[in-house]
Structure 1
Amino acid sequence: MTENSRLKFKMEQLGLTQRELALAVNDHLRAAGEHDTVSERTVRTWLTGRSTWPRKAKRRALEGVFRCPVEELGFTPPPSNARPKEGPHVFRRTFISSSVGVAASPLIGSRRLTVGAPDVARLRERLDALTALDDQRGGHLELEEATLQGAREALELQKGSASQRIRLRLFSLAASYTTNAAWSCIDARQLDRAQVHLNEALRLAGMAQDSIAQVQVWNATAMLAHQRRDHGGAVAAAQAAQALGATRRDPMVASLAHARTALGHSNLRDGTAALRSLRYAESALLKAKPEPRPSWMQFYGVAELHALTAIVLDRLGEHPAAEAASYRALSALPQHFRRNRALATARLAFSQLHQGEVEQACATTEGVFSLMEGTPLPARMRSLLGDFYRDLLTLAPDASTARAWGDRYRSEWSTT
């Protein structure tokens, strides 16, 4: 008697326990009009190899659950009972007929599509691709719509037959997709829509029982509060992220939460608290180890901490130190983070302007437009450049450089 390792592997791929496999097989049996059922004990006989060739109805049910011939599940017919070899088209015809019958009926009762790890992986790959698009172009309406569609698909799959583990992953994905939609709105300065998405994302992250998804929501909430100049709310959101289990387990996540807290404190002009939070962020980042993390976390690391440090120091009036931090951020930022490089370049220009280096600051902003050439500037970036122009006119209202900058770039930063 040999253990059925193939069946065990397939179950692990779909995230099915023995009980959940029994329930899924029974669903297919009932859908086929069979009165027979299987139990956890039956599944154990398959896994241990005590049963090497279930009867025909159960074989068909197993094929419906795993979407492959039972031979690929490690089952072998006895020589006297070997079924004729079927070409791939035969199984495909049988499977498609079965699948259409299930898909055509409502996803309720006994006729439910089986959902597993491959479905989760497919949705995760799409989410990663959309995150990469955001890194390149920034937030825009098409990106928001694509992420919301991903969330809807994740929730639609909840109507299928799935293990509890898979259901939680689907809720987590729906939360991440929805948070990405909110982030796209924040970058596009559609702040009211962003709040609606964040409210839904927080609900979904709670249903997923996923603290890293909750950190993602609170991180975006802190960003939204920052855009609305609700600096107390930004601190509160960042501190909510600090209290979560993912933050306690992963120093990288903790570093991000402390950096967001530092930014909020600096906007409240609480220098002592801001610098303390920055020290916490730096200390936590030193403890972080390379490990797989969600794609939304890929933007954060040494470079992003330098970029956030530059903003904090500039807010606190430490303009030379802010300029140095911006240079460090730009030297460490990967090239594919185009939008973030443009933002860091704009922040460098701010620190130079606040030191009275008007011509140098104006020259630096040229890098923003060069980096984003070929795509519209995200509204958040346009707003930042608008702030730069206002500071420029305040600090050097009579400078010909300021007037020339306005004449050259006004159309680009205000309407692009």
Structure 2
Amino acid sequence: MAMSREVRNPAFRQLRGQRSPGEFAAAIRRAAREIGEQVACDARYIGRVEAGEIRCPNYAYERVFLHMFPGSTLKDLGFSDRGAVRGRGMCPGAEPPGQSESRPQPHTSQNNEESDVLRRAFMAGGSAALAAVSLGFGPAPVPSRRRVGEAEVNAVEAAVRQIRLLDDRHGAAGLYRRAAQPLEAAYALLDAGTARRSAADRLHAGAGELAISVGWLAHDSGRFDDARSHYAEALATARVSGDPALEAHAFCNTAFLARDAGRPREAVRAAQAGERAAKQLSSPRLLSLLTLREAGGWAGLGDRTACSETLVRAKSLFGQGTSDADPEWMSFFVEAELEMLEAQCWSALSDWPRAAQHAERAAELQDPHFARNLALYRAQLADDLVRAGAPDRAAAAGHQVLDLLDQVQSSRIQAMLAGTARRLLPERRAAGVPAFLERHASTPRLV
């Protein structure tokens, strides 16, 4: 039998009281849900805290602990002040800032856990070095002792834009693993500290936006657990920095993921939380998108009335036009995307003809330079058409998607098209269907 660990955090052990580590972990998870956080706390985590291996929790856990024990500080809970461990990449037991415990972690040895800390703790020596890491070139540089300045913040923001541009053009599958490197660099920069408050605010926002971008790449690649973890990381960063725009974005993507993962009620709640955050801003378009995410949740729940009412509200907000307060990341949210999101709502409600009508409109409106979205809209159209009883038109739309797959790498789009192909199998006699099925079968799949 393994020996119990020495208690090096008696304050935290006292808070546990008579509860077992597993029972205390369950209480922490319940408290996290109360405030909209997502942590995968287990008995092992409790043991690591009590043994002093975790000197300071990440931001998500900090919020949960302070919610559970109002009026307490991290010091009262037996942790070191975050500033005491900040910037010390060699310090074992310091939780990487913003890292969500819902992300699977290796359980083989303490060396593995320390390696993860060290991997995140490097700081790029300048914007050129960070840009190289951001694009996936070469290893991380040796940590620098100087504080982070404008050059590093600019590099993080540039990495966000580059990832979004490449995703818009080509899809997520080829980008996800490379994009993890700039994300690690951004949080290491955040942990290193900045000379000025304005730079710190920008770096928090940039790191959070980068977490969302990497989360989206995971989402679009079908890695839902990874996506959920990255979105939670962004949400924790937003709350620590008091950034309602970043919080609204994180909730927007969380709602989208929840819908795709078959958790429609969570999608509704996350979208509504995003709407509350967005009301602090002056962007009707942002509120419109969040309202559409809510509509998608209602559709998933089969509530046609709530979905219809929410769609009306979303279109009214969209009709108010753009504003200077619209976030940069919302450049994709044009009329074509509005039509696509409405199509998905009607599809979820099994109103296939109406869904096909809006999907076709989305494809007609979409800028052809953005191949990924055009392929997505046509894949949605193909699936709605076959369900609506128009297999010939579905096959034609499917061919248009296949025409784009040499430019687009998206597991999500390929999965949608595969579903359409399965539904077309009984319709082999319809015009164009055999040719589409043969071509689809010969198309290489992403791995």
Q: Would you call these one fold, judging by a TM-score over 0.5?
A: yes
Matched residue, 1:410: 441
Is the CA contact (8 Å cut-off) linking 1:212 and 1:246 kept in structure 2?
no
CA gap 1:306/1:167 in 2 versus in 1, 3 angstroms: same
Report the 3-state secondary structure (helix = DSSP H, G, I; strand = E; otherwise coil) of the residue aligned with 2:337.
Answer: helix
Is the CA contact (8 Å cut-off) linking 2:399 and 2:436 kept in structure 1?
no
Matched residue, 2:212: 179
Q: 2:351 aligns with which of 312, 318, 326?
A: 318
Paired with 1:188 and 1:233, the residues of 2 have a C-alpha distance of: 21
Matched residue, 2:392: 359
Paired with 2:181 and 2:236, the residues of 1 have a C-alpha distance of: 15
Per-residue deviation at 1:400?
8.1
Residue deviations 1:145-168 (CA, integer Å, cap 9, x gap): 325424523542552442222212
Matched residue, 1:388: 420
Matched, 1:279 2:307: no
Q: How does the TM-score come out when normalised to structure 2?
A: 0.63
Per-residue deviation at 1:275?
0.9
Paired with 1:413 and 1:319, the residues of 2 have a C-alpha distance of: 29
CA gap 1:349/1:359 in 2 versus in 1, 3 angstroms: same
Greater displacement, 288-297 / 306-315: 288-297
Q: 1:270 aligns with which of 303, 319, 331?
A: 303
Paired with 2:442 and 2:345, the residues of 1 have a C-alpha distance of: 29
Q: Quick check: which one's helix share is greater?
A: 1
Superposition RMSD in Å: 2.7
Matched residue, 2:96: none
Matched, 1:345 2:392: no
Q: List aligned pairs for 1:17-416, cutoff 5 A.
A: 107=145, 112-113=146-147, 115-116=149-150, 118-140=151-173, 142-153=175-186, 155-156=188-189, 158-245=191-278, 249-291=282-324, 293-375=326-408, 377-393=409-425, 396=427, 402=433, 404-412=435-443, 414-415=445-446
CA gap 1:148/1:214 in 2 versus in 1, 3 angstroms: farther
Per-residue deviation at 1:206?
1.4
- Unaligned 5+ residue runs, structure 2? 1-140
Per-residue deviation at 1:257?
0.4
Report the 3-state secondary structure (helix = DSSP H, G, I; strand = E; otherwise coil) of the residue aligned with 2:175.
Answer: helix
Residue deviations 1:53-82 (CA, integer Å, cap 9, x gap): xxxxxxxxxxxxxxxxxxxxxxxxxxxxxx
Paired with 2:143 and 2:221, the residues of 1 have a C-alpha distance of: 41
Is the CA contact (8 Å cut-off) linking 2:359 and 2:377 kept in structure 1?
yes
CA gap 1:392/1:413 in 2 versus in 1, 3 angstroms: farther
Per-residue deviation at 1:336?
2.5
Is the CA contact (8 Å cut-off) linking 1:303 and 1:329 kept in structure 2?
yes
Paired with 1:127 and 1:366, the residues of 2 have a C-alpha distance of: 33
Identity of aligned residues (%): 27
Per-residue deviation at 1:268?
1.5
Per-residue deviation at 1:276?
0.9
Per-residue deviation at 1:374?
3.9
Per-residue deviation at 1:300?
0.9
Paired with 2:173 and 2:143, the residues of 1 have a C-alpha distance of: 37
CA gap 1:404/1:261 in 2 versus in 1, 3 angstroms: same
Paired with 1:412 and 1:142, the residues of 2 have a C-alpha distance of: 21
Paired with 1:304 and 1:198, the residues of 2 have a C-alpha distance of: 21
Per-residue deviation at 1:388?
1.4
CA gap 1:245/1:320 in 2 versus in 1, 3 angstroms: closer
Is the CA contact (8 Å cut-off) linking 1:151 and 1:177 kept in structure 2?
no
Is the CA contact (8 Å cut-off) linking 2:383 and 2:420 kept in structure 1?
yes
Matched residue, 1:73: none
Is the CA contact (8 Å cut-off) linking 1:349 and 1:361 kept in structure 2?
yes
CA gap 1:283/1:144 in 2 versus in 1, 3 angstroms: farther
User: Which is higher, the Rg of structure 1 or of structure 2?
Assistant: 1
Paired with 2:142 and 2:233, the residues of 1 have a C-alpha distance of: 30
Per-residue deviation at 1:387?
2.0
Paired with 2:326 and 2:370, the residues of 1 have a C-alpha distance of: 17
CA gap 1:369/1:404 in 2 versus in 1, 3 angstroms: closer
CA gap 1:200/1:105 in 2 versus in 1, 3 angstroms: closer
Matched residue, 1:69: none
Report the 3-state secondary structure (helix = DSSP H, G, I; strand = E; otherwise coil) of the residue aligned with 1:406.
Answer: helix
The count of aligned residue pairs is 308
Paired residue type of 2:189: E
CA gap 1:104/1:310 in 2 versus in 1, 3 angstroms: closer
Paired residue type of 1:319: W
- Unaligned 5+ residue runs, structure 1? 1-102
